[in-house]
Amino acid sequence: MKIAPRIDRLIDKPDSKVRAIASVSFDGVFAVHGIRVVEGKNGLTATMPSNKYEGKNGETKYSDIFHAITKEGYEALNRSVLNAYQFKLQQSQQTDVEIVPASEHNEENSPDEFSEGDIPPDYAQDDIGETF
């Protein structure tokens, strides 16, 4: 069976244990959405989407909407989601851009000089002609 995970959203909230929301496709036939990547006391794990309900004694309980039946199935699903999460983190870090204040620019790159790959001001326009 081919398990194809996708990270739908990264979550960067310091007060939350949830790090991402994922979806998984099985053999391109079935899909499960709402899988959470959670930081637990033993590290990251993928948790299944669940329904919340009140038990007989009034306590809050959760029931998985989807779950693996075998240990091997759980391990394969967990591993694939966590690998996708690590890959997505690496991608997001590679696309981060740091803006350096003009005061920190070196003298070699004055505002009137451009290196190869820079966009001259007259080309930095959007569709309606405004410079950004």
Evaluate whether residue 19 is within a structural domain: yes
As given in the structure block, the two tokens for residue 75 are 């391990």
Tens-place pLDDT, residues 45-76: 999 999 999 999 999 999 999 999 999 999 99
**Domain of residue 67, CATH code:** 3.30.1120.40
Evaluate whether residue 128 is within a structural domain: no
Q: In the beta sheet, which residues pair with residue 35?
A: 22
Evaluate whether residue 40 is within a structural domain: yes
CA 28 to chain centre: 21
Evaluate whether residue 27 is within a structural domain: yes
Residue 128, pLDDT above cutoff 60: no
- CA-based nearest residue to 22, from 39, 40, 34: 34
Global pTM? 0.68
Evaluate whether residue 122 is within a structural domain: no
Tens-place pLDDT, residues 12-40: 898 999 999 999 999 999 999 999 999 99
**Would you say 75 and 65 are in contact if contact means Cβ atoms under 8 Å apart?**
no
Evaluate whether residue 37 is within a structural domain: yes
Residue 120, pLDDT above cutoff 80: no
Predicted pLDDT of residue 114: 44
Q: In the beta sheet, which residues pair with residue 22?
A: 7, 35
Predicted pLDDT of residue 97: 67
Assign 67 to helix, strand or coil.
coil
Rounded-to-integer distance, Cα 76 and Cα 83, Å:
11
Residue 119, pLDDT above cutoff 50: no
The pLDDT-based confidence of 131 (bands split at 50, 70, 90) is very low
Give the domain range for residue 36. Answer: 3-88
Evaluate whether residue 103 is within a structural domain: no
Evaluate whether residue 101 is within a structural domain: no
Under DSSP, the state recorded for 100 is P
Tens-place pLDDT, residues 83-112: 999 999 998 887 766 677 766 555 554 444
Predicted pLDDT of residue 94: 77
Residue type, 40: G
Number of folded domains in the chain? Answer: 1
